[in-house]
Amino acid sequence: MSTVKTLLGDRATLCEYIREKLAAHTPRHYIYDPHASSVPASVLIPLFFKEDRAHLLFTKRTEIVEHHKGQISFPGGRRDSSDPDDLFTALRETEEEVGLAARGIDILGQSDGMLTNTHYLLTPFVGCFNKPAKYRVSINEIDRLIEAPLEHFLDDTRFYTEERTFKQHTWLVHFYRYGEDTIWGVTAFILSAFLNIVFDVGRPLD
């Protein structure tokens, strides 16, 4: 763990380490209902440094968005017909939601995604950025932002799973505790997949 702690305190080394891990990994989508139709969507797993420690940026959605009201998520959304690819979607949505421009994000690679129970084929990308003095948040979509130390999610005591049944399918749902917040569902699953690839934490996915 001391090696990991050192890694999480060195931006250049950590970003290169993540880039190499993702490059060596063939990304996949976890699909639990192969007969479901799907809509392409993508998210950004945003990584930045604050007080010399690696952090992740999450958004807490408002109660007026169409889907996932009040839930904690990574920036992202549905692919528009004019988007050339999934990465463009993730970057476009990130700028719309939190004001981070694509030119300021260093894309480190693609992580594992999933077909959600709402039929979104979700593709995640990992990007490193410099924390701005102020985020430009979409007040219609985002209630607040959550900046959480990456190290927090490597602690097994912060993580748990529950079996849930939805539309006659049983899902192993992931949960992470962070203060008064709970990150769960698709976002927690995407986070677990990323942590497995980069840090080999062994979170159950299949």
- pTM across the whole model: 0.94
Tokens of 189: 């699953």
Other CB atoms within 10 A of residue 51 CB: 7
Domain ranges of the chain: 2-152
Whether residue 1 is predicted with pLDDT greater than 60 in this model: the reply is no
Using alpha carbons, list the distances in angstroms from residue 149 to 72, 137, 153: 15, 20, 8
d(CA 53, CA 12): 12
CATH number belonging to the domain at 2-152, selected among 3.40.50.300, 3.30.390.50, 3.40.30.10, 3.90.79.10 = 3.90.79.10
Cα 22 off chain centre by: 14
**pLDDT by residue (tens digit) across 102-144?**
999 999 999 999 998 888 999 999 999 999 988 999 988 899 9
Is pLDDT at 160 greater than 90 in this prediction? yes
What is the pLDDT, as a whole number, of residue 64? 77
